[in-house]
A and B are shown apart, each in its own frame.
Chain A
Amino acid sequence: MLNRHILERVLLRAMSGGADFAEIFAERSRSSSISYVDSRIESIYDNTLSGVGIRAFLGVRTVYASTTDITEEGLMLCAASVAEAIGEGRADQNIVLSERITPNIHPVRIVPSDSLTGFAADLLKAGCQAAAGYDKRIIQVQGRLMTNDRNILIANSEGLYITDRSVRTRIAISAIASDGTENQTGSASPGALMGLEFFEEHMPEEIGRRAAEQAITNLEAVYCRAGKMTVAIESGFGGVLFHEACGHSLEATSVAIGASQMAGKLGQKIANEKVTVVDDGTIPGGWGSMNIDDEGNPARRNVLIENGVLKSYMIDRLGSRRMGLPVTGNSRRENYSFEPTSRMTNTFILNGPDRNEDIIASIEYGLYAKEMGGGSVNPLTGAFNFSVREGYMIRNGKICEAVRGASLIGTGSQILENIDMVGQNQACGEGMCGSRSGSVPVGVGQPLIRMTGLTVGGR
Chain B
Amino acid sequence: MIDFEELKAELIKAAAAAGIEQYEIYYQLIRDASAETFRDEISGFSFGVSGGICFRCISGGRMGYAATELMTPGEMHELVIRAHENAKHIENDDEVFIYPGSPKYGQKTREADKFPDAALLKNNALALQRNTYAKSKHVTDGTQSQVFAFETETRICNSMGLDLKNTAGATGGYTRAVVKVNGESADDYDFTLGCGLDSLLPLSDNAVSGALAKIGAGEIDSGKYDIIIGGRQMQGLLAAFSSVFSGKSARLGLSLLAGKEGCEVASSCITITDDPFDPNCPMQTTFDAEGVAVYTKNVIEKGILKTLLYDLTNAKKAGVGSTGNASKGSYASTVGISPFCLSIRPGEYSLEELFRIVRSGLYVTEIKGLHAGANHATGDFSVECAGFLIEGGRRGQPVKSFTIAGNFYGLLRSITHVGNKVEYGMPSGFTVFASPAVLVRDISVAGK
Contact = CB atoms under 8 A, between A and B. Distances in A.
Given A43-B63, A459-B444, A373 B373 contact: yes
A3 interface: no
Nearest to B48: A66
Interface string B62-80: 0111111111000100000
A386 B185 CA distance: 22
Nearest to A119: B89
A383 B48 contact: no
Q: Which of A47, A49, A142, A254 has the most CB of B within 10 A?
A: A47
Interface residues of A, number: 79
B252 A376 contact: no
A258 B186 contact: no
Given A44-B64, A458-B446, A176 B44 contact: no
Contact of B66 (A37, A45, A64, A66): A45
A42 B70 CA distance: 26
B142 A176 contact: no
Contacts of B383: 385, 407, 457
B102 interface: no
B152 to A, nearest CB: 14
B345 to A, nearest CB: 28
A386 B334 CA distance: 30
B141 to A, nearest CB: 3
Nearest to A62: B44
B5 interface: no
Interface in A387-422: 387, 404-407, 409-411
A185 B378 contact: yes
Interface in A252-268: 254, 257-259, 261
B89 A64 contact: no
A457 B448 CA distance: 10
Given A42-B90, A45-B332, A387-B382, A64 B373 contact: no
Interface string A41-59: 1111111111101000000
Contacts of A261: 185
A69 B369 CA distance: 38
Contact of B372 (A53, A183, A374): A374
A41 B178 contact: no
A123 interface: no
Interface string A61-102: 111111111000010000001001100000000000000000
A171 B378 CA distance: 22
A66 B401 CA distance: 40
A303 interface: no
B253 A139 contact: yes
Interface in B382-411: 382-384, 386, 400-406
B92 A41 contact: yes
Contact of A381 (B71, B141, B187, B382): B187
A410 B446 CA distance: 12
A455 B401 contact: yes
Interface string A29-49: 000001101101111111111
A208 to B, nearest CB: 17
Nearest to B384: A385
B446 A456 contact: yes
B279 to A, nearest CB: 31
A35 B64 CA distance: 12
B86 A51 contact: no
Contacts, number: 245
B82 to A, nearest CB: 6
Q: Which of A45, A60, A227, A339 has the most CB of B within 10 A?
A: A45
A48 B69 contact: yes
Given A45-B86, A63-B44, A176 B253 contact: yes
A375 interface: yes
Interface string B81-113: 010011101111100000000000000000000
B1 A69 contact: yes
A182 interface: yes
Interface stretch (B35-43, B268-276, B347-355): B35-43
A114 interface: yes
B373 A387 contact: yes
A67 B48 contact: yes
Given A43-B92, A407-B383, A226 B68 contact: no
A28 interface: yes
B52 interface: yes
Nearest to B140: A258
A66 B51 CA distance: 11
Given A64-B44, A407-B373, A407-B405, A45 B69 contact: no
Contact of B222 (A38, A67, A178, A227): A227
Q: Which of B68, B178, B369, B382 has the most CB of A within 10 A?
A: B382
B373 A51 contact: no
Contact of B405 (A53, A183, A405): A405
B4 interface: no
A64 B46 contact: yes
A376 B256 contact: no
B89 A118 contact: yes
A65 B86 contact: no
B185 to A, nearest CB: 6
Contacts of B87: 44
B403 A407 contact: yes
Nearest to A32: B86
Contacts of A38: 92, 252
Nearest to A256: B38
A381 B447 CA distance: 17
Contacts of A42: 90-92
B16 to A, nearest CB: 21
Ranked nearest first, the 8 interchain pairs of A and B with the lowest CB-CB distance are A457-B403, A259-B142, A374-B372, A226-B446, A258-B141, A385-B384, A385-B369, A66-B48
Given A339-B44, A405-B405, A409-B384, 17 more contacts: A41-B90, A43-B63, A43-B65, A44-B89, A48-B67, A68-B49, A140-B253, A183-B378, A184-B378, A257-B141, A376-B371, A380-B142, A407-B383, A409-B403, A409-B446, A457-B384, A459-B406
28 contacts: A28-B70, A47-B67, A47-B68, A47-B332, A50-B70, A53-B48, A62-B46, A64-B46, A66-B49, A68-B50, A69-B2, A182-B378, A183-B254, A226-B403, A257-B142, A258-B142, A258-B178, A374-B371, A376-B368, A383-B368, A406-B382, A407-B384, A409-B401, A455-B402, A457-B403, A458-B403, A458-B444, A459-B405
